[in-house]
Chain A
Amino acid sequence: MKNEHKTLIKAAGENALILYFSSTINDKTASKIQCATLKIKQSLSNYILDLTPSYASLLVTFDMYKIDHHQLRNKLRTLLATIDDVQAPNHQHIVELPVCYHEDFAPELPLIAKQASLSCDDVIQLHQSTVYTVYAIGFAPGFAYLGEVNDKIAMPRLATPRLKVPKGAVAIADRQTAIYPNTSPGGWNIIGCSPIIMFDQKATPTMPVNVGDKVKFTAISKEEFFTLGGKFPMFHD
């Protein structure tokens, strides 16, 4: 049987359940979550307020006036049973995103290099050498979670999150990497900055990437960063 793949449904809050599809990051799980998100939208939209898919989970926020957690759990079970083994789609689309790794833009770069016993240039090289998958968009509008970073440069989050991370900051947390689309609090290790706007509510499309896209980073100089519209980032602790 496929017991090891059985989706776990847990309580999150008074009006939210969370579905855990797997405990690891992989393309197959990502496809399964995309499929479940779509199916729930199609058949349970009357009860659902919001859906928050991520790497290996899906948060289902429901309308307490229309359904309770017991009933919803049953409906989700029934629905999940109809999701066949979904194959990972074959994405060819690669979005290239420029990053300036200059030391002025990369407060945690030396820290990661030291921990990995590598030079800063090696860390920059390794960060660019992977073609990443967009596993989720969340935390803030346009914040794309990219996986997976080379194990050597993986780094745990800061013990105390920064109150302000500048717009465009490129950062690492464990084996995830991302670009901060706007100034916000955050606990990831910053290794560079990108001048690309990751979320523009007036633009079409709103975001340069979507869940499932492939992303590659390319190093640019400080001059190129400013030419591409980048603003000098301010770092606070």
Chain B
Amino acid sequence: MLGFLVKKPGVLSLIQDSGRFGHAQMGLTQGGPADKEAFYWANRLCNNDVDVAMVEVSVGGIELLAQLDTVIAVTGAKMQLSINAKEVPMWRSHQIKAGDLITLDYAQSGLRSYLAVKGGFKIKESFGSVSTVCREGVGGLKGSQLLKHDLLPCDEYKFSETDYSLMLPADQVPHYGQSARLRTIPSYQQQHFNSFEQRLFYSSEYSVSSDSDRMGYRLKGQAINCEVSGILSEGICHGAIQIPADGQPIVLLNDRQTIGGYPKIGSVISIDTNKLAQLRPSDKVHFEPISMEKANNIFHLSRHKSRAVTLIKC
């Protein structure tokens, strides 16, 4: 099968679909795009189903050679996108011809971009998903990040003269800054953090540690004390904020361990973990408590808002 040949793999490029669900009982984590918002737009710009496989490009530096005609779109962190050494805009679809060379330079703002192809990459699923989780050696092509000479198979798409490209209106393009507000549902072991510690937590600024990755973002700043040092190991949801004995919070993301025994003060909502996953070491975050009801409303309103956006034909 033909597709895209990896000439340069970049720093960390991973095949991701919407994630692996239903296998937590074996200890398999969910994987999936660290920034679901950018992932959503890349698929929509290619007129794809919302959950098909694309490449999540962290940091940048990827170069792909097209072996067939198709359509691509790149969203997410600002990286210079070029087709045959000519710069073209992100956040819109581009017609690609066999032999075209597609490059994404290093990120100028944000950390992860998303490269989607029409119809999605056609890769064999492991445990119901193609999402790559390197630590588990599961998903992707061989359970690892993209390597030089890999082939990413996809279907050919012959465009006609009546075909048009799609573009996201400029006012809808997310901004990737150097700080994020992380709205948090107080939950799990919240009762084991006294009101003073909770106030400290919600009023302190934290910086992103260089040990952060898709598993979790480790933060540095005001230490938070918990009345208990450990709990019976239990299931960890996406966005859960773990406080180990050193008091430095860890926000657990897509590749997190399924079960763990450090106490958790609450969980960050997914719209805000999208922002967190775009931050780099030493960027700043702060937490803001919100109710489960409010979190639910924010989630659904944001979904309606995205769906209501009309893409520009060009």
Contact = CB atoms under 8 A, between A and B. Distances in A.
Interface of A: 10-16, 18, 23, 25, 37, 49-59, 61, 64-65, 68-69, 136-143, 145, 156-157, 159-161, 163, 173-174, 176, 181-185, 187, 199, 201, 206-207, 211
A159 B25 CA distance: 27
Given A14-B296, A160-B244, A140 B257 contact: yes
Give the most central of B24, B29, B270: most A CB within 10 Å.
Answer: B24
Contact of B25 (A23, A53, A174, A183): A53
Q: Is the interface of B mostly helix, strand, loop or mixed?
A: loop
Given A14-B185, A56-B232, A173-B233, 12 more contacts: A54-B235, A58-B235, A138-B257, A139-B259, A140-B257, A141-B138, A143-B257, A157-B230, A157-B245, A163-B211, A173-B230, A201-B127
Contact of B187 (A10, A37, A58, A140): A10
A124 B293 CA distance: 51
Given A16-B267, A54-B259, A201 B27 contact: no
Interface in B110-139: 126-127, 135-138
Nearest to B290: A14
Contacts of A145: 233, 259
A49 B21 contact: yes
Top 10 nearest A-B pairs by Cβ distance?
A59-B235, A52-B235, A138-B259, A13-B267, A16-B237, A13-B237, A138-B258, A11-B187, A52-B24, A159-B245
A71 to B, nearest CB: 11
A78 B285 CA distance: 40
24 contacts: A11-B188, A12-B237, A13-B239, A13-B267, A15-B237, A18-B188, A50-B24, A52-B25, A54-B232, A55-B233, A56-B232, A61-B21, A61-B24, A68-B296, A138-B233, A138-B235, A141-B27, A157-B262, A160-B245, A160-B246, A173-B230, A173-B261, A176-B233, A206-B26
A171 to B, nearest CB: 12
Contact of A25 (B23, B30, B232, B236): B232
Contact of B234 (A15, A59, A157, A173): A59
B137 A182 contact: yes
A199 B230 contact: no
B229 to A, nearest CB: 6
Contacts of B29: 140
A141 B28 contact: yes
Contacts of B258: 52, 138-140
A142 B26 contact: yes
A182 to B, nearest CB: 7
Nearest to B266: A13
A80 to B, nearest CB: 17
Contacts of B260: 139
A50 B31 CA distance: 13
Give the most central of B230, B235, B300: most A CB within 10 Å.
Answer: B235
A59 to B, nearest CB: 3
Contacts of A16: 235, 237-238, 267
B109 to A, nearest CB: 27
Contacts of B246: 159-160
Interface in B236-289: 236-240, 244-246, 257-262, 267, 269-270
B296 A69 contact: yes
Nearest to B241: A13
Nearest to B269: A14
B233 A51 contact: no
Give the most central of B30, B232, B240: most A CB within 10 Å.
Answer: B232
A156 B24 contact: no
Given A69-B296, A163-B211, A50 B30 contact: yes
Contacts of B187: 10-13
Give the most central of A10, A58, A141, A183: most B CB within 10 Å.
Answer: A141
Nearest to A157: B230
Contact of A157 (B239, B261, B269): B261
Contacts of A140: 27, 29, 135-136, 257-258
B296 A55 contact: no
A84 B257 CA distance: 32
A120 B174 CA distance: 57
Contacts of A157: 229-230, 244-245, 261-262
